[in-house]
Amino acid sequence: MTSPADPLRATERRNPRSVDIDAYDPLQLVELFVAEDSTVPAAVGRARDAIASAVALIEAAFRHRGRLFYVGAGTSGRLGVLDASECPPTFGTAPEMVQGIIAGGLAALTRSIEGAEDSAAAGAMALSERGVHAADIVVGIAASGATPFVHGALQQARDVGAGTVFLTCAPPANTVRDQCDVVIHVDVGPELVTGSTRLKAGTATKLVLNILTTGAMIRLGKTYGNLMVDLQATNAKLRDRGERIVMDVLGVTREIARTAVADARGSVRTAIVMLHDEIGLAAAEARLAEVDRRLRAIVGPPLPVGDGS
C-alpha cells in the first residue's frame, strides 16, 4: 500500500493554504486561485533543461519522419489529445504526425472512464495498435507519476526502440529516470483541492505541451519569425490571418495577398515566395525545398514590429 509520504503520490499532499477554503467567499477564492496559479510558470521554468532536451528529441524524430504520441489518463490524456488536435490547423501538419492517446479511448474525452488508467497492458496495446516504431517518440503524461496505463505505453515504446519522455508533477522513481530518454518533473506543490490535478498540475502540463510541439515546429521552420506561415486556412478566421501574414511580410494589398494564397493552393508560405521572387507555384515549391522550407533564407529576416502599446 502506498503511504501518504510516498513521493510518487506527492500530488495527494494537502495544501496548508487552503485548509479553510470551504469557508471562503468568492473573492477570497479567486485571490487564492490566482496566487497559487502564479507559481506554475516558475515551476515550469525550473524544468527548462529537461523540456529543451525533449524539444530536441521531438524535432529529431520529426526530421526522420517519425511521429509524436502523447499518452495519458484523465486530465493528462485530455490535454495530450488537445495539443495534438491543434497541430494541423496551426502548423499544417498531417493528423498522424502528432497523436493523443487517452486511457479509455475517445469516450474518456468527455466523461470519466473509471479503471481505464489501471492497466499497463492496455497502454502497451494502444501503442501497438498504432504501429509505434523506432522512429517515433512517446511522451507519457502522469501528474501523479504512477499511472499504469502510461508506464505500460512507455515500456512498449522502449521495447520497439522509440524515444521516450516522461512528464510528471511528482518526483519520478529512479527506475523511470534510468529508463526514459528525458524526464520532465514540474513540481507545482499540493493542489488547493487535495489530489485535483486538473488544477496546477493541469496548468503546468498544458504549458509544457505547448512548448514541446510549438518549439519543435518552430525548429522545423513552421514559422517565419513569429508568424504561422504553415497554417491551414480551414475557416474564415484562419483565411483572414493567412492573408494578413502575406500582407505583413511583403507589404502588399489584401487583394494581392488573397489572390496569391489562392494561386498557392492555400499555402501562405508558398504564396509569399511566389510574390517575393515573382515565380509560379512549382518554382516556388522547388525554391523552398532548396532551403529546408525556411522563408528567412529567401525573404530575409522579418521586419521589426511595435510593442503593441
CATH code (residue 246): 1.10.8.1080
In contact, 68 and 217? CB cutoff 8 Å: no
Total-model pTM: 0.91
Q: Which residues of the chain fall below pLDDT 50? A: 1-5
Domain check: are 290 and 215 in the same one?
Answer: no
- According to DSSP, residue 199 is labeled T
Q: Domain containing 149 — which CATH number?
A: 3.40.50.10490
Question: Structural domain tally of the chain?
Answer: 2
Domain check: are 130 and 192 in the same one?
Answer: yes
Residue 229 placed within a domain: no
Boundary-marking domain end, from 174, 192, 219: 219
pLDDT of residue 3: 43
Residue 44 placed within a domain: yes
- 96 carries an active-site annotation: no
pLDDT of residue 10: 80
Domain check: are 260 and 215 in the same one?
Answer: no
pLDDT of residue 303: 81
In contact, 149 and 141? CB cutoff 8 Å: no
DSSP 129-150: HTT--TT-EEEEE-TTS--HHH
Boundary-marking domain end, from 219, 252, 272: 219
In contact, 228 and 249? CB cutoff 8 Å: no
Q: Which residues make beta-bridge pairs with 137?
A: 68, 163
Domain check: are 213 and 249 in the same one?
Answer: no
Give the residue numbers spanning the domain of 269.
236-299
What are the grid coordinates assigned to 24, written together?
471562503
- 12 carries an active-site annotation: no
Buried b (16+ CB within 10 A) or exposed e, 105-114: eeebeeeebe
Residue 144 placed within a domain: yes
Which listed residue (12, 31, 36, 86) is catalytic? 86
Exposed, middle or buried, 102 (CB in 10 Å: 0-12/13-18/19+)?
buried
In contact, 122 and 153? CB cutoff 8 Å: no
- According to DSSP, residue 309 is labeled -
Domain check: are 96 and 57 in the same one?
Answer: yes
Residue 202 placed within a domain: yes
Domain check: are 50 and 193 in the same one?
Answer: yes
Domain check: are 94 and 164 in the same one?
Answer: yes
Domain check: are 168 and 295 in the same one?
Answer: no
Domain check: are 128 and 249 in the same one?
Answer: no
Which listed residue (36, 59, 117, 285) is catalytic? 117
Boundary-marking domain end, from 193, 219, 245: 219
List pLDDT tens digits, range 209-250: 999 999 999 999 999 999 999 987 778 898 899 999 999 999
Task: State residue 26 phi and psi, 5-degree precision.
Answer: -55, -40
